[in-house]
Structure 1
């Protein structure tokens, strides 16, 4: 494929979308060498071809995201050489306001404390074996409160994909909550699951907890290049994305473990993407009584359940907050895997999936109920590691 001719035609083919027509797309190039030549040409000619200003490279999957619509003639001309899909919206998986109270100021929390969900998973019993030392965890979310005293020891610089060239500060709260469950250091009040782990926050979601597939792919790409061991994905979407799947596959090939939340629609037999992809460890939520939480999606593609109801964790402005959701459950699984990774360096994605399958206790289910995977148990995880 001749790169200059392709880029020129791409510029000519891009038009503004009609009303109600999707205006964000992902264009994947079949041949890697062609992709890199096109990417170089776009970078060199953006000042001339102004319509290419919205085109952003996604090298992890040899693709570009762009705003606008490509005319049919362009698509016919390059049929088989490129594929196009919608750049689908993605949302975080939390349910604020569903039985959860208001954020709590630092002076009103019991000090020190370990949240009940972490105790349910029996994490304190394995701290003598591991605290998650030197395990790098990418948290693709809404950012994090860099000034929270319980998070500061764990935080690395991270990246802000929403407001580039600034730290990934959290203007929503979801990302700070997830970070606390995984690795709060107990410096002021709360201790998370892996207090010696290193968190690399990736702000891909805006203040409303919304993002696009292309934002997630950029975040995965960044995490892979930073050498993270685990990526926490407490978000999802209903529509399948081949671009997202390719990004997840490539991250797994690089040795990265991906943990993803199943969704909060209370659906049976269906879970959200990317948790639906077999390359991830998919997580459902249990309530405070150990039963599947009413809001949790469930199905044969769930790998494990973990606490997701009334989960207390860190919150912006140095506060603490209870939240519900499969997002919160996912953070518990990520934290336990960080403990395991520190105790067994080099743990592969497949080994991690087998470990999680072995690290479960049966759920509290009615008789004749559909059988599901069990609830995460850290003690069983370490027993399996030793075996």
Structure 2
């Protein structure tokens, strides 16, 4: 295989401006070809230090690159590589407005405060793939680890949008005196900045984010975003996280649909989340139906925001962060649970949702119950030898 020729072809394409939607994910069929490609790339870069980087995922054996022309020029390598279009992906959120701090109703609704005497999520590592986080927010100072900025690897993953800071606050804010408390206040969030200031990212950014989370031994990953199209490369890296024992909690989308949800939540390896309101009914905007595993509060949720502020937001994104926090409480006590066991426990201990007539029915859906989840999980704890 002519690695040098392939590298030069890709780098030449990077120099010409690529039209919108012309990014590609290139996966090597043979892992040895990927290794040889990377070795050749490093050797060439040593001679040409000004050459641009080619983002990659070692776990997927993929490189990501813009292609300004058609992919026909890569036909010579068609037996050795798989080429996939790199789609845009959006964070799942609706409205927002400034509100004061307080203990958010969602944290109480899932009974997290009643679980804190047993678990606060201590030492659980959560990768939040989002817009970054506000490292200076007083409610998050104890909760954030370094993480990674995939858009600029030399910088901290600072949030220039607000969405990621909001998610982080619901999961693990820890300012009981003046600010708010999240579901798992002693868990540690590793912000993985894959989304820009508009809340947009490419699938390749998500892949690199999950790759980073696996290699840095996260216990779970929060993914409050989605897209309509299926991506094989994204499914493959989600599966690698699942097999390595990492639960992925993913928001289902805000289209109010009954028979469909967004990817990656639609993949069975994730825990797909829908949103409820204060009355434990499905929020009007939330997707619903058979593809939803669990529901959580997602309507008018107050949480932390950039510049030390607070915002009220609605969306399945907000619901997802409640579920991630509940799982963190569980994993702090029973760290050996696998993703399939965690999903089963979530469903087994959840509260049936209310119908429009106010009756509780499991057929409507199930809302996460952090207290019951923790109690049932403790029964599974393996006794120390």
Question: Structure 2 length as normaliser, TM-score?
Answer: 0.91
Q: CA deviation at 1:46?
A: 4.6
Call closer, same or farther: CA 1:383–1:72 in 2, change over 3 Å. closer
Q: CA deviation at 1:167?
A: 1.0
Instruction: Tell me, yes or no, if structure 1 residue 78 matches structure 2 residue 77.
Output: yes
Q: CA deviation at 1:236?
A: 0.6
Separation in 1 of the partners of 2:48 and 2:274?
A: 47
Separation in 2 of the partners of 1:328 and 1:173?
A: 12
Asked if the contact 1:285–1:306 (Cα under 8 Å) also holds between the matched residues in 2, the reply is yes
- Counterparts in 2 of 1:1-387, with a 5 A limit? 1-8=1-8, 10=10, 22-46=21-45, 53=52, 55-69=54-68, 71=70, 73-97=72-96, 102-104=97-99, 108-109=100-101, 113-187=102-176, 188-366=178-356, 371-387=363-379
Question: Per-residue displacement from partner, 1:220-268 (whole Å, max 9, x unpaired)?
Answer: 1111122110110001111111111111111112211110000011111
Q: Which shifted more, 219-228 or 75-84?
A: 75-84
Asked if the contact 2:130–2:223 (Cα under 8 Å) also holds between the matched residues in 1, the reply is yes
Unaligned runs of 5+ in 1: none
Asked if the contact 1:177–1:315 (Cα under 8 Å) also holds between the matched residues in 2, the reply is yes
Separation in 1 of the partners of 2:295 and 2:65?
A: 37
Q: CA deviation at 1:162?
A: 1.8
Q: CA deviation at 1:8?
A: 4.8
Q: CA deviation at 1:45?
A: 2.2
Call closer, same or farther: CA 1:11–1:18 in 2, change over 3 Å. closer
Asked if the contact 2:352–2:362 (Cα under 8 Å) also holds between the matched residues in 1, the reply is no
Segments of 4+ moved more than 6 angstroms: 12-15, 47-52, 367-370
Asked if the contact 1:14–1:51 (Cα under 8 Å) also holds between the matched residues in 2, the reply is no
Call closer, same or farther: CA 1:19–1:12 in 2, change over 3 Å. closer
Separation in 2 of the partners of 1:18 and 1:133?
A: 45
Separation in 2 of the partners of 1:306 and 1:230?
A: 17
Q: Which shifted more, 335-344 or 223-232?
A: 223-232
RMSD: 2.5
Asked if the contact 2:281–2:356 (Cα under 8 Å) also holds between the matched residues in 1, the reply is no
Aligned residues: 376
Call closer, same or farther: CA 1:127–1:12 in 2, change over 3 Å. closer
Unaligned runs of 5+ in 2: 380-385
Separation in 2 of the partners of 1:354 and 1:379?
A: 15
Asked if the contact 1:8–1:49 (Cα under 8 Å) also holds between the matched residues in 2, the reply is no
Call closer, same or farther: CA 1:38–1:2 in 2, change over 3 Å. same
Question: Per-residue displacement from partner, 1:13-70 (whole Å, max 9, x unpaired)?
Answer: 88958866x3111111111111111122123325878997363222121111101146
Separation in 1 of the partners of 2:15 and 2:150?
A: 25
Separation in 1 of the partners of 2:163 and 2:13?
A: 39
Call closer, same or farther: CA 1:52–1:309 in 2, change over 3 Å. same
Call closer, same or farther: CA 1:164–1:12 in 2, change over 3 Å. closer
Asked if the contact 2:252–2:316 (Cα under 8 Å) also holds between the matched residues in 1, the reply is yes
Call closer, same or farther: CA 1:84–1:377 in 2, change over 3 Å. same
Q: CA deviation at 1:289?
A: 1.4
Separation in 2 of the partners of 1:330 and 1:13?
A: 38
Q: CA deviation at 1:128?
A: 1.2
Asked if the contact 1:55–1:66 (Cα under 8 Å) also holds between the matched residues in 2, the reply is yes
